[in-house]
Amino acid sequence: MSVLITPIGNLWDDGAWWRLQDCMLHTAQAGYSLSLQEVNDASLFSFEAIPMMRWHASMLARDSGAEWLLMVDNDVWLEKDTLVRLLAHDRPVVFPFIEDMEKRLPRIIAPLSGPDLMESGKGLVPVKWSAMSCMLFNTKIFNVLEPTAWRGSDYLFGQCLNFIGHRIYVDTDTVIRVTHGPTRHASKTNQEFWEDHANMRDRLRYEFRNRQPPPHFNPLMDDGVVDKYGTYFGVPNEAVRSGKMNGHKPQ
């Protein structure tokens, strides 16, 4: 009943952070024990950051003693019940169904799974691979999964799981949205590829990390608290009023 949550990335898209916090609050109220550990970017090149963070997260999960690990990218819009619904399946590897809000590339160039699941509401569906925006694992998998599995494509990761006897299941009834479509480096020219790397490096150096509360958030009436740095945390108002938040008060 314990879950470690590791966000993958350091630049939260608008709306992603507070949705994660609300999802955590809902999951905790359902009886699960939760912890959150952000992973810093330690890579030289931007296109190496995500695989390194995922590998780091898998090692944290093994060391933490948690039963489950949820990895969630910074561009994912979770629903409050996303994690509870995924946990209910009790599967070693289960992903939610992804809706791409950007639709930058046609599905024939950038499918989100193989086979490509075009419709939600079809129950739990096994796939060979799926876009790795949001993933729930039983942490025992990391005892036998090679570190190299995290490098390369979503398809390669699915192959590595299949090799150790596991298959990805997509819960098509549990829908999340991503603000950006999948990155396909092969679809870019060499100049576009390196320009994207330079832009990401500048973002990491200068961009504000968006951890703001939900729109129209009322600290007196709504669940949740905002600390002195403007960071929103999803906690019950009762915990704030009783002083159990280590001095955090609504702003």
For the chain, give the number of residues. 251
For range 197-213, the mean pLDDT: 77
Would you state the pLDDT for residue 184? 64
Residues 6+ apart with CB under 8 A from 28: 34
Least confident of 5-9, 55-59, 217-221: 217-221
Residue 222 has pLDDT above 70, yes or no: yes
Cα–Cα distance, 104 to 142 (Å, whole number): 33
Average pLDDT over residues 152-166: 93
Structural domains of the chain, count: 1
Residue 52 falls inside a structural domain: yes
Domain membership flag for residue 119: yes
Cα(155)–Cα(243) distance, integer angstroms = 48
Residue 125 phi/psi, 5-degree rounding, is: -125, 125
Q: Please indicate, yes or no, if residue 88 is contained in any of the structural domains.
A: yes
Q: Is residue 140 part of a domain?
A: yes
For 95, 169, 226, the CA distances from 135, given in Å and listed in that order, are: 5, 10, 27
Q: Domain for residue 214, yes or no? A: no
Flag whether 219 is in a domain: no
Going by DSSP bridges, is the β-strand pair 93-100/168-178 parallel, antiparallel, or unpaired?
Answer: parallel
> 14: domain range?
2-206
- CATH number of the domain residue 49 falls in: 3.90.550
pLDDT tens for 12-39 read 999 999 999 999 999 999 999 999 999 8
Report which residue type is found at 36.
L
74 is a domain residue:
yes
Token pair in block for residue 21? 């916090």
In a domain, 233, yes or no: no
Mean pLDDT value across residues 210-235:
90
